[in-house]
Structure 1
Amino acid sequence: MATRKKSTSHPYIPNTVPEVQRAMLDEIGVSDIDELYRMVPKELRLAGPLKVEPALSEYELQRHVERLLERNTSAKETISFLGAGCWQHFVPAVCDEINQRSEFVTAYAGEPYEDHGRFQALFEYQSLLAELVDMDVVNVPTFDWAQAASTALRMAGRITGRRTALLPATMHPERLLVIRNYLSPQMDCVLVDYEPGTGLLDMADLKARLSADTAAVYIENPSYIGQIETQGREIAELAHAAGALFVVGVDPISLGLLEPPSRYGADIVCGDLQPLGIRMQYGGGQAGFIATRDEEQFVMEYPSRLFGLAPTSVEGEYGFGDVAYERTSFAKREKGKESVGTQTALWGITAGVYLALMGPHGMREVGETIIRQARYAASRLAELEGVQIRFQAPSFKEFVVDFNGTGRTVSDINKRLLERGIFGGKDLSGEFPAWGQCGLYCVTEIHTKEDIDALAAALKAVL
């Protein structure tokens, strides 16, 4: 006779009172809570009890957490050249001021509750971002770029009725994992190679991989490794000739300077809002967006909410509300095209504040500053003995630095830089082992000439 596991309640974990947990399991027809996790591989499950004992008092817990946080070294105390999906940009004070207002600070994409002003704030955000990316329709923010790209590709699959998405081999490996997981089992992901000298998409390989089953060709511009993809129009033409859609992931802060993807044939544009007035927050300030033309085939495939202007019961008066709410997962629930759930609407409001403050001229100025500073940094590092810039195509704010000629590992170099108060670039040796010892360096508008010179001097000292 099997013995039932002993169950005890815990002050930090909800619904762990044995009687409550038993009633919930009985209601859904499950004998043991472990049955709920049967699809999770055993090697990923916690084998023993969760070690969060003893339960601390509120004050003790506060002190414990503060001591843990004090062990961190943040980008405030150092000069940071890390990027790779979470970038250090200047955040105007007004962004923090607005997103901490009581009517916005808990904003998300569920029910409106009493914060009616949120609908207008999100409408204004959508309008500003639509102007930036030169598209008509923008959704309420997703969790991050990875989810935005995944949903965009799922949309392309439903529109075309096809099962394959072509993606660049140089894309962020973690983003690729999310996309593969999100598209499975409805769609497959196939990687397209890159040109060794430039890092740009290999057009011959793209042509070879296009087929009658290709739903979408996806690129990122700038790419994960920083290159500006100059072949966008040709890629769009090839995708469209094959009956596929062209999806472009973009860093929106680059669009004050670079041509928006819609101008070179993009059908769906997606990306991350984090550069637009959102702090890094230990990697947590992420929010994705999706943008399309105002065409029914696209609009009706959005699973998330869209806010627009609508007439009210008062003649001549307009308000802000949902567009085609019946197509969303909030309305369709389990019958929806995909589940959206809680979203990062607060970051959409923040991005809207940033765009309103910067305006077209401000966005152009910050873009020019970034590309100028990044080029200066690349030229300074290339002067160091044994150091090269790996790819020669134009880049925006990130670039790959090749340390193979120095005989040192990126990990060792970064440790020595940190001793001098500098976060070096992201170590790519694990993600792209064929490149050897390479680091992804990021330079934005917050980096001064003195910061870059200090990096060059520190690298010269440690190499």
Structure 2
Amino acid sequence: MSVKGFKHHPYIPNSVPEVQQAMLREIGLETLEDLHVEVPEELKLKRNLNLPPALKSEAALRRHVEGILRKNKSCGELLNFLGAGCWQHYVPAVCDEINSRGEFLTGYAGEPYNDHGRFQSLFEYQSMVAELVDMEVVNVPTMDWAQAAATSMRMAGRMTGRRQVLVPELMDQNRLLVAKNYCDPDLDIIPVSYHEETGQLDLEDLQKKLSKDTAAVYIENPSFFGFLEEQGEAIGKLAKEQGAVFIVGVDPSSLGVVAPPSHYGADIICGDLQPLGIHMHFGGGQSGFMATRDEEAYVMQYPSRLFGIAPTSVEGEYGFGDVAYNRTSFGDLREDANEYVGTQSALWGITAGVYLALMGPEGMRELGETILQLSGYAIHQMNQLSGVTGSRFKASSFKEFVVDFNGTGMTVAAINEHLLKAGILGGKDLSQDQPQLGQCALYCVTEIHTREDIDELIDALAAILNTR
């Protein structure tokens, strides 16, 4: 901002009192606090920050920070059975090698003037994810599964002109809150109840809540709790009878052994790429994808970039570029675009493409089979512990499963505390987000685990619970 009579530096905040006052007068305010009148008083910090004295050198700063970091324990040091949306899979070395190359190492999708193969890499990623989910159009990745699901809902709302989205009551509460925040005030998100024993969606409740105002029905398969929704085709049919869009969220690591949602009627498929060659990165390895059929009604509702292949002005040559670029907020439409899209996670799209190229169809099948076998063994062994039910929901599961500790007389929090002392990260405590389940925990088993790892967990639980 430029204020008449005052010079300013483009990189240094204008903190001189006279300059501040001139700027405030320009916008009709008296104090800096007037900028934050909407913040409740109880949320304002009215004391100085409790900061340590300034360190005198870079070396001292490095030693200080490394001392803090040594307090952390990573999954490299602990045996980890915690998933819940960010999973520990094996990351082939080639994934890190390629995504650290200078021409790729950025979160942005790239532009023609600095492309160096990024457009082609993302086109290849899109093609392989499309093959995995058996759809035709896949976007350049967005932030995470939650945003991909919310964007899918908004796409359905725009396509149908309706205001309601039906979702499972048994859903990740964090993902649900993101969707509600992202869709408000255009869409109302309404939960559908489930069968207590299996976790499957209650079709009678779904039918009651479906109406001519339903824009979409959204389910996850596998669910956040790991069980497979076995009524996918029936759910999709009921949704379409009311003219609603059928959206399915999916863990892509399951698709080597589980039918893709397109095979039971999904119109939009979304999910997270993190299982495909991406480290957990303290939660920073998330990357959302969306996939649809190659139909204009869907393509024109994508807010994020799509890369296609087209002939160039030179006969026999082909190039890679944006598809329908003008529909985006950074294209011709600007503020009139469907949605605003900022920084994306295109680097993770390239990484996922490398992973899928490396694994191939047989590799994905082997991955899925390994996870099924190991998680099935873990459930069986959990069932041998007195007072423990290895799988709370009586349905087929993939990678994750809800362990019921209600019969042990101990809380999940106490059990996890004991496990941590034994060098084991237990499952996610569900007692806060899903209190109706009581003392249950969401456990995760992937291809990184061995039978010996699972036996170590079972032995530790037996010791904690004093049972066998």
Q: Give the TM-score normalised by the residue count of structure 1.
A: 0.93
Distance 2:76 2:40 in 1: 40
Distance apart, 1:45 and its partner CA = 4.9
Distance 1:272 1:444 in 2: 16
Aligned counterpart, 1:419: 421
Distance apart, 1:46 and its partner CA = 4.3
Distance apart, 1:204 and its partner CA = 1.0
- Contact in 1 for aligned 2:110/2:118 (Cα 8 Å): no
| 2:15 is equivalent to residue 18 of structure 1 | yes
| 2:457 is equivalent to residue 459 of structure 1 | no
| 2:27 is equivalent to residue 29 of structure 1 | yes
Q: How does 1:176-195 map to 2 (within 5 A)?
A: 176-195=176-195
Aligned counterpart, 1:147: 147
- Contact in 1 for aligned 2:82/2:442 (Cα 8 Å): yes
Equivalent position amino acid for 1:18 in 2: S
Aligned counterpart, 1:338: 339
* Aligned counterpart in structure 2 of residue 434 of structure 1, from 433, 436, 455: 436
Aligned counterpart, 1:3: none
Equivalent position amino acid for 1:101 in 2: R
Distance 1:385 1:396 in 2: 24
Relative to structure 1, the CA distance from residue 23 to residue 363 in structure 2 (aligned partners, 3 Å threshold; closer, same or farther) is farther
- Contact in 1 for aligned 2:311/2:317 (Cα 8 Å): yes
Distance 2:232 2:192 in 1: 14
Equivalent position amino acid for 1:420 in 2: A
Aligned counterpart, 2:8: none
Equivalent position amino acid for 1:317 in 2: E
Provide structure 1 residue ranges, at least 5 long, that are not aligned to the other structure.
1-13
- Contact in 2 for aligned 1:386/1:405 (Cα 8 Å): yes
Distance 2:435 2:193 in 1: 15
Relative to structure 1, the CA distance from residue 48 to residue 206 in structure 2 (aligned partners, 3 Å threshold; closer, same or farther) is farther
Aligned counterpart, 2:371: 370
Aligned counterpart, 1:401: 403
Aligned to 1:256, the other structure's residue is in SS state coil
Aligned to 1:116, the other structure's residue is in SS state coil
Relative to structure 1, the CA distance from residue 75 to residue 27 in structure 2 (aligned partners, 3 Å threshold; closer, same or farther) is farther
Aligned counterpart, 1:292: 292
Aligned counterpart, 2:351: 350
Relative to structure 1, the CA distance from residue 369 to residue 34 in structure 2 (aligned partners, 3 Å threshold; closer, same or farther) is farther
The C-alpha deviation readout for 1:75-116, integer Å capped at 9, x for no partner, is 111110000000000000000000000101124136455233
Equivalent position amino acid for 1:304 in 2: S
Distance 1:451 1:302 in 2: 43
- Contact in 2 for aligned 1:25/1:33 (Cα 8 Å): no
Aligned counterpart, 2:81: 81
Relative to structure 1, the CA distance from residue 35 to residue 344 in structure 2 (aligned partners, 3 Å threshold; closer, same or farther) is farther
Distance apart, 1:310 and its partner CA = 1.9
The C-alpha deviation readout for 1:351-394, integer Å capped at 9, x for no partner, is 00000000000000000000110011001001100001211111
Q: How does 1:231-242 map to 2 (within 5 A)?
A: 231-242=231-242
RMSD: 2.0
Distance apart, 1:67 and its partner CA = 1.6
Distance 2:439 2:418 in 1: 15
Aligned counterpart, 1:6: none
Distance 1:120 1:104 in 2: 11
Aligned counterpart, 1:201: 201
State percent identity of aligned pairs: 64
Aligned to 1:18, the other structure's residue is in SS state coil
Relative to structure 1, the CA distance from residue 409 to residue 177 in structure 2 (aligned partners, 3 Å threshold; closer, same or farther) is same
Relative to structure 1, the CA distance from residue 375 to residue 109 in structure 2 (aligned partners, 3 Å threshold; closer, same or farther) is same
Equivalent position amino acid for 2:116 in 1: H
Distance 1:181 1:222 in 2: 24
| 2:132 is equivalent to residue 132 of structure 1 | yes
56-65 or 222-231, larger mean C-alpha shift? 56-65
Q: How does 1:370-389 map to 2 (within 5 A)?
A: 370-388=371-389, 389=391
Provide structure 2 residue ranges, at least 5 long, that are not aligned to the other structure.
1-10
Distance 2:100 2:388 in 1: 45
- Contact in 2 for aligned 1:308/1:323 (Cα 8 Å): yes
Distance apart, 1:207 and its partner CA = 0.8
Aligned counterpart, 2:157: 157
Relative to structure 1, the CA distance from residue 44 to residue 314 in structure 2 (aligned partners, 3 Å threshold; closer, same or farther) is farther
Q: How does 1:251-262 map to 2 (within 5 A)?
A: 251-262=251-262
- Contact in 2 for aligned 1:107/1:118 (Cα 8 Å): no
Aligned to 1:330, the other structure's residue is in SS state coil
- Contact in 2 for aligned 1:133/1:255 (Cα 8 Å): yes
Distance 1:51 1:307 in 2: 49
Equivalent position amino acid for 2:386 in 1: E
Distance 2:342 2:348 in 1: 16
Relative to structure 1, the CA distance from residue 446 to residue 334 in structure 2 (aligned partners, 3 Å threshold; closer, same or farther) is same
